[in-house]
A and B are shown apart, each in its own frame.
Chain A
Amino acid sequence: MKFIRVNMSDKSIHVEDVPQEYAGLGGRGLTSILVNAEVPPQCDPLGPENKLIFAPGFLTGTPLVNTSRISVGAKSPLTGGIKESNAGGTIGASLGHLGITAVIVEGQASDGDLSLLHINGQGEATLIPAQGYKGMRTYALVEKLLATYGEKNSVMCIGPAGEYQFASASVQSSDVDGRPCRAAGRGGMGAVMGAKGLKALVVDQRGKNADVIANPQAFKEATKVVVEAVKADHMSAEVMPNLGTAALVAPVNAMGAFPSYNATKGQLDGWEKISGEAMAEIIKERGGKTTHRGCDKCMIHCSNEYVDEDGKFVTSSLEYETIWATGGMTGITDFDVIARLDYLCDDIGLDTMNTGVAVAVAMDAGYRAFGDAEAAIEMVEEIAKGTDFGRILGNGPAAVGEHFDHPRVPVVKRQSIAAYDPRGMLGNGITYATSPMGADHTAGNVVGAYLEHKLDPLSPEGQVDTSRFLQIAMAAFDCMGQCFMANVALLHPDGFGAFQKLIEAKTGTQFEDGYFPFGMGTRILKAEKEFNRKAGFTKQDDRLPKFFYEEPLSPHDKVFPISDAELDSVLEF
């Protein structure tokens, strides 16, 4: 259990034991509480006072499966508030096996200076000059890094967008095949990494110094509950391995909540061509992989490998949110184009969601027509080139809206919404408005409750309580390093208890009943809200853009009806 502090100003590296106040935390809890404690809230997110934190989940590196998530946290150059963005791949587990709780990147390299941080199998960290990798896109970069440092390494890195410090820049994470196709996409964490002068983090996968589990027997017993629940649920055991998250296209579109043509309609013409079912057919016909393991220690295999007509790799993994942002929002219904856009975003180091929506806003403003595939590809390539328009696009939908003086910009705190329209799924709108992260579906996604008929997506009744509960639960869950696909374990009657037992078994400490998720989740959300308040956010920032309240969405012809007072009550604790 150690922190590695890397100062990019003087290139010093210090290792310290994890202070007591961070005991039992990992992932989002660790990054958010540390950012709130150590980063001046009013600082320039792209300046030396910001800190960029890489933290594997608290259970990452333990024998529990599906635990390979890593959180990347800092003050966001996109939202201006606190940010945690998490990714799969292999690097979380690599750090976990070395007993590294967090890598904290501080200070700032001098202009134009670029380094990479290498952590070897003994957990020793070294900063290495990386001038030779300047401007490189992520696929070529990772190939070169793995050739240099060996295939048994994990990489997190930035592409040109991160070096340009664009607000939509992602941090890309290598998967089990060594491809940088997993992303901590949201909130411009790649820009913070670029501002620090850090091109990549390279970590040896062969570490054998994982944290000691205080009570291995209790850990094993709680693990059994989680694994059985994941094995028994249709989502994790059946739908995800066959269709992946793309399976959401059809039901969300059928519910009239699939934001299309820059959120001017709730259903997409030609949606059948970009459904999960259609994707699986195309991949099968061409000899790609509909089932693929993207992350270390994964038993779900929700990933896929999309290939072209000749069976050649195009991208991995094509996901629901990307299909929506680059397809539904832009009116593009050609999977080959969507797959190409996904690859380009990964390669340039861009959040597919913020970028797809930025393209959609430009189309809505009349810059190009909806459905113009060639234009979409050209626009994304402009970001990599750093042209004047590319710079605007790379800073996301809000920047594009300002450029064209176009009012229909579906963002909260400047971050794009996700693939669930707030007018068709009210609870998701509440989460977008009130999450300290900005519009973020992973902060509290209500879609499952709608499909299970537990809640009417169009009726305000029960939405605030459901969003609040999910936001607390997800804040705690995001600490564990568990994949979202495994969150079905929480639906098991003993699910929450099992996670509490896992934390207790690892730490050897008893917590009060309900610590997971309530004690832990509210502690994290409070820290995040406190940071945002000090950074200058007010209640007015916890609102959806005006058009969601004014423009009815077809087919249900509804606007967003939740009052400001109700929104203010969501995280009032």
Chain B
Amino acid sequence: MKVKVKLYGTLSSNVPEYKPSQGIEVEIPDDATVKDLLAYLEISETRGAAVIANGRVLNANDELQNGSSLDVFQSIHGG
């Protein structure tokens, strides 16, 4: 399946020539989970990734849907 991904925080450094306004399109297996997506993007656990779709933070084991738009942030405890 294909999903659209936008990267925030310092995560865009994982994708060369990343354009914030466009994001990237990623092709991953049909049964891929949030965890699989992060592994595909080579975002390690230590970087505190939080994947949000439709206003909700997803669980690491949530399965992704074809054609969905995902935003990947880094967790922060406040400002």
Contact = CB atoms under 8 A, between A and B. Distances in A.
Most buried by B among A232, A247, A254, A256: A254
Contact of A319 (B47, B75, B79): B79
Interface string A312-336: 0000000111000000000000000
Contacts, number: 102
A445 B58 CA distance: 20
B76 A453 contact: no
B1 interface: no
9 contacts: A234-B74, A234-B75, A248-B79, A251-B50, A255-B55, A255-B57, A319-B79, A452-B50, A452-B75
Contact of A239 (B59, B71, B74): B74
Contacts of B10: 238-239, 242-243
Interface string B38-61: 000000001110101001111110
A450 B75 CA distance: 9
A522 interface: no
Contact of A235 (B20, B48, B52): B48
B55 to A, nearest CB: 4
A487 to B, nearest CB: 7
Interface size class of A (residues with CB under 8 A): 35 or more
A254 B71 contact: yes
Contacts of A277: 8-9, 12, 20
Contact of A247 (B9, B12, B20, B55): B9
B55 A447 contact: no
B79 A254 contact: no
Contacts of A488: 77
A319 B46 CA distance: 24
Interface in A220-268: 232-235, 238-239, 242-243, 245-248, 250-251, 254-256
A251 B73 contact: yes
B16 interface: no
A453 B59 CA distance: 7
A465 to B, nearest CB: 17
B20 A445 contact: no
B78 A448 contact: yes
Nearest to A238: B10
Nearest to A458: B56
Contacts of B12: 277
Contact of B78 (A238, A246, A441): A441
Interface of B: 8-10, 12, 20-21, 46-48, 50, 52, 55-60, 71, 73-79
Most buried by B among A248, A251, A555: A251
Interface in A360-415: none
A254 B47 contact: no
A213 B9 CA distance: 39
Contacts of B71: 250-251, 254
Interface in A432-448: 441-442, 445, 447-448
Given A238-B10, A251-B8, A453 B77 contact: no
A18 interface: no
A419 interface: yes
A484 interface: yes
Nearest to B48: A234
Contacts of B76: 235, 239, 245, 247-248, 251, 447-448, 451
B66 to A, nearest CB: 21
B65 to A, nearest CB: 17
B78 A451 contact: no
A451 B57 contact: yes
A299 B16 CA distance: 29
Interface in A531-570: 555-556
A289 B37 CA distance: 33
Most buried by A among B47, B55, B58, B59: B55
Interface in A249-303: 250-251, 254-256, 272, 275-277, 281
B73 A254 contact: yes
A447 B59 CA distance: 16
